[in-house]
């Protein structure tokens, strides 16, 4: 919709988008301050409402923009042929990490958007959110080979436990890495650690 915005240099667009993603992501829609956004983006107050008519329009633009990026740089790269749940999970995790590394603010923003279900949103946005949730769900559960799990436990429960435990690990890792810049981290030891945990899970839950 915003015509003048598209004519900006990429650098300026991205400054504004990133400032807005960060503010909405950390404060939520209501608490997010347009003043904070323009300050962070280094533009005058008037410009934001020149490019986007109001706060809500900016928010919806960010959702559509982020979904577009997520589709192209995350979802389309998923290989749903992998039927081993743990391998699939690892693959998804690495893609998520890559995405976070490239777009940390967007990653966080997307997390908050997919979490809340806001009845105030226009129908098309709500539909896209639901669609994204469905894709995320399928990326985890669809086409999994349950015969890999050991026979003396319920495979559905085992799968859930694996998922929960690795989400816990990822939260734990995020906390440990908090504040550090993604670019100046040597990922290798963390990837090794991640694999070790996955191997424990494989040893324990698989045949």
Binding residue for DNA (CB under 7 A) from 1, 4, 101, 116?
4
Q: How far is the CB of 77 from a copy of itself (least distance, A)?
A: 26
Give the bridge partners for 204, in sequence order.
none
Element (H, E) at 140: helix 123-141
Q: How far is the CB of 74 from DNA (least distance, A)?
A: 29
Gap between the Cα atoms of 69 and 64, Å rounded: 9
Binding residue for DNA (CB under 7 A) from 36, 95, 114, 155?
36
Torsion angle of the four alpha carbons 61, 66, 72, 77, in this order, in degrees rounded to the nearest 10: -160
Q: How far is the CB of 45 from a copy of itself (least distance, A)?
A: 24
Gap between the Cα atoms of 27 and 107, Å rounded: 14
Q: How far is the CB of 33 from DNA (least distance, A)?
A: 3
**Angle in degrees, CA 8, 9, 15, rounded to 5:** 90
* Three-state SS at 206: strand
Binding residue for DNA (CB under 7 A) from 14, 33, 160, 172?
33
Site for DNA contains 45 (CB under 7 A): yes
Q: Per CB under 8 A, which of residues 150..169 are in contact with a copy of itself?
A: 150, 152-154, 157-158, 160-169
Gap between the Cα atoms of 125 and 113, Å rounded: 11
Element (H, E) at 57: helix 55-73
Gap between the Cα atoms of 136 and 129, Å rounded: 11
What residue 35 binds from DNA, a copy of itself, none (CB within 5 to 8 A, per partner kind)? DNA
- Per-residue tokens: 16: 């504004």
Residue whose CB is less far from a copy of itself, 81 or 151: 151
| Number of residues that this document lists for the chain | 207
What residue 153 binds from DNA, a copy of itself, none (CB within 5 to 8 A, per partner kind)? a copy of itself
Residue whose CB is less far from DNA, 27 or 79: 27
Using CB under 7 A, list all residues that contact DNA. Answer: 4, 7-8, 32-36, 43-47, 49-50, 53-56
Using CB under 8 A, list all residues that contact a copy of itself. Answer: 31, 150, 152-154, 157-158, 160-169, 172, 196-197, 200-201, 203-205
């Amino acid at each position: 919709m915003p015509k003048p915005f598209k004519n900006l240099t990429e650098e300026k667009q991205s400054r504004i988008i990133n400032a807005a993603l960060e503010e909405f992501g950390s404060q939520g829609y209501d608490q997010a301050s347009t003043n904070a956004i323009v300050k962070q983006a280094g533009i005058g107050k008037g410009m934001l409402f020149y490019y986007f008519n109001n706060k809500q329009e900016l928010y919806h633009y960010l959702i559509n923009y982020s979904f577009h990026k997520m589709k192209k740089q995350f979802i389309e790269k998923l290989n749903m042929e992998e039927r081993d749940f743990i391998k699939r999970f690892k693959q998804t995790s690495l893609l998520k990490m890559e995405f976070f590394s490239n777009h940390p603010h967007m990653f966080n923003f997307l997390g908050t958007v997919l979490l809340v279900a806001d009845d105030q949103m226009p129908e098309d946005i709500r539909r896209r959110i639901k669609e994204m949730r469905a894709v995320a769900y399928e990326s985890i559960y669809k086409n999994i080979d349950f015969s890999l799990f050991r026979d003396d436990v319920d495979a559905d429960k085992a799968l859930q436990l694996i998922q929960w435990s690795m989400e816990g690990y990822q939260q734990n890792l995020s906390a440990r890495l908090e504040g550090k810049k993604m670019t100046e981290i040597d990922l290798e030891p963390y990837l090794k650690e991640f694999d070790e945990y996955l191997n424990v899970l494989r040893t324990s839950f698989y045949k």
